[in-house]
Amino acid sequence: MDRLINDKNFSLQLLGFVILQPFVDIYRVFFENTIEIAGISLAELINLLAIAYLIFLFVVKYIKQPKYFLPVVIYGVLLGGYCILHIWNISKFDESILNGADISAFKELYYMLRVYLLPLVVFYMFLCVKIKTGFFEKGINILSGLISGIIVVTNLFKVSFISYASSLETNQFITRNIIEWFINPDMENPAYMTSKGWFYMGNQIGVILFMLYPFVIMQALKYRKKRNYLLVIIQGIAMIMVGTRVAALGGMLILIVSPVIAILFGGILKQFPFERKDFLKLAGVAVCFVLLFVHSPVIDVQGAKGDAYEETDEQKARRKEMEKFKADLDKGIFDEKVVKMYAEDIEEYPYSYGISEEFVKLFDVEDNFEFWFDTVISKDRDQVNYRQFKERIYEAVLEKNNNPYDRWLGIGYTSGFPYVERDFTGQNIWFGYAGTFLLLGPYYICALYAVIQILRRIKTHFRYENAFFAVSLGGVSVLAYMAGHLFNGIFSAVIFAWLVSAFVHYQKKLEVSE
């Protein structure tokens, strides 16, 4: 037992849990919930058992050091109090407001456990053990090589699933690989050339790659070895293959920022060797990626998103007939027959109003006609911003539910309200301000502590490692707010937790070396 719980082996087992997540994610893609035990999928059960094992080791390791359990007790009391209030609040939610609402205390708490609390448990364990630089860098290389390698290889053999599959019933293989981008691109369906490998969500894997890439580049600059630059190239290609803005544009942005960091900390401050040939290597990689980027499906996919929905002649004739009643509607005269006619039209042809079918199913048109009139009928029928539209529905839901505590305690995940694809905003909707602070706050409190340490000891802590931590953690947090998918799954959240803990430990390492 002593060998299992020493710092080195315990850290390895914690990292093992992080590295396990890509395989669990792949399992979800192919098997989803085909195997369940007591209603819990095998993928979730593996994570629960792994966490239970790590908690057991943690207790054995620190049983004689009560100081390690005090933060757990304090957090547990706060979280327990919040959960009682949260369950009480969602129990008052009017389920008739949202189609698909199914308020359940058990489902609510279980969702919070598997998506938010498991990463927090791992985060606290990482904070309690020392993370050595070499150990951290090897972990980065393993994760980057594993994830990027799967994406690149499956793309080459055309057995990768497309990234933009949310509108499809099942995952679909790509129609073109990277070679065919240049010689035979699929211009009719550019989204079918985007490649997420065998992972569950293209958006989430893009966020993960964004977090890892600054450290991959940092090691290439630091060690100046071919294998490190090879990993820079492989992951860069993988990020362009994914084809989302977060992955492709994020990768390009990191490649632009990295030489600036290298010139400042390597060329001017001499914290690591950085010569003209090193700059040329990095610049050469960046130029190659720009050329690859312009031939990738990214630009065509983003352009296709803004294409207007083409109506049939029958739809146009129907719409022209309905316009006769528009003047009365503008005056607030909502005749029952007219309301029903418009409701049927929106339900049958939602995309002609610039919205997705999911919104119509979520928030009944006829029962909430004034909302739909204000948001889509009286507006130009351009494609709406889906994230913003969900947030407008949320405001309408709050108004109908008329509960003053919803903003602070949340309407609940089991309310059926969809993920708005914006972290922080999404958590505020489900769990309220109090829940968001408790579930996401610990990461940012610790990161803020590290930033304060840097500012207090600027002479010793103004390091290139901290610059790359800032690009990774700061950049991905901005992306989480803008595009989401960082905290909506354990895979990405666990990696973020590991990186934040490494950021904190690095400041402690610098303090010791002063």
* Rounded distance between C-alpha atoms, residue 240 and residue 244, angstroms: 8
Query: Is the model more confident about 335 or about 247?
Result: 247
* Rounded distance between C-alpha atoms, residue 309 and residue 166, angstroms: 18
* Rounded distance between C-alpha atoms, residue 414 and residue 85, angstroms: 15
pLDDT (mean) for 467-476: 98
pLDDT per residue over 202-218, tens digit each? 999 999 999 999 999 99
Q: Write down the pLDDT at residue 382.
A: 58
pLDDT (mean) for 494-502: 98
Q: Are 383 and 354 in contact (CB under 8 A)?
A: yes
Helices 490-513 & 118-128 angle (0-180, nearest 10): 20
pLDDT per residue over 380-425, tens digit each? 655 677 888 899 999 999 999 999 999 999 999 999 999 998 999 9
CA dihedral 201, 145, 34, 15 (to 10 degrees): -100
Task: Please report, for the chain, the start and end positions of each structural domain, with discontinuous segments joined by +.
Answer: 2-132+420-513, 135-305, 313-382
* Rounded distance between C-alpha atoms, residue 98 and residue 101, angstroms: 6
Q: Write down the pLDDT at residue 54.
A: 97
Query: Is the model more confident about 327 or about 499?
Result: 499
Residue written as token pair 């007591």: 38
% residues pLDDT > 90 (the chain): 69
Enter the tokens of residue 119: 């990463």
Enter the tokens of residue 11: 């850290």
Q: Are 22 and 205 in contact (CB under 8 A)?
A: no
Q: In 46-69, which positions are buried (b, 16+ CB within 10 angstroms) versus exposed (e)?
A: ebeebbeebeebbeebbeeeeebe
Give the 3-state secondary structure of residue 36. Answer: strand
- 38 Cα distance to chain centroid: 28
Exposed / middle / buried, residue 399 (Cβ in 10 Å: 0-12, 13-18, 19+)? exposed
Give the 3-state secondary structure of residue 85. Answer: helix
Length of the chain: 514
> In angstroms, what CA-CA distances link 34 with 20, 37, 43?
20, 10, 10
Q: Are 497 and 120 in contact (CB under 8 A)?
A: yes
Q: Are 425 and 388 in contact (CB under 8 A)?
A: no
* Rounded distance between C-alpha atoms, residue 237 and residue 288, angstroms: 10
Q: Are 426 and 419 in contact (CB under 8 A)?
A: yes
Q: Write down the pLDDT at residue 70.
A: 96
DSSP string, 354-405: T--HHHHHHS-TTTTHHHHIIIIISS--PPP-HHHHHHHHHHHHHHHH--TT
CA triple 382-388-391, angle to 5 deg: 135
- Residue 473 is classified by DSSP as I
Return phi, psi of residue 36, to 5°: -130, 145
Q: Are 155 and 177 in contact (CB under 8 A)?
A: yes
Return phi, psi of residue 32, to 5°: 45, -115
Q: Write down the pLDDT at residue 428.
A: 97
DSSP string, 164-201: --TTSSS--B-S--TTHHHHS---S-GGGG---TT-S-
Give the 3-state secondary structure of residue 493. Answer: helix
Q: Residue 168, Cβ neighbours under 10 Å: how many?
A: 11
Which range has the top average pLDDT, 38-42, 50-54, 297-301?
50-54
- Residue 173 is classified by DSSP as B
Helices 276-294 & 250-261 angle (0-180, nearest 10): 170
* Rounded distance between C-alpha atoms, residue 472 and residue 215, angstroms: 8
DSSP-based helix, strand, coil % in the chain, nearest 5: 70, 0, 25
Which of 118, 87, 129, 117 has its CA nearest to residue 502?
A: 129
Q: Write down the pLDDT at residue 298.
A: 85
At 441, the amino acid letter reads G
Q: Write down the pLDDT at residue 164.
A: 80
Mean pLDDT score across all residues of the chain: 90
* Rounded distance between C-alpha atoms, residue 486 and residue 480, angstroms: 6
pLDDT per residue over 42-97, tens digit each? 999 999 999 999 999 999 999 999 999 999 999 999 999 999 999 999 999 999 99
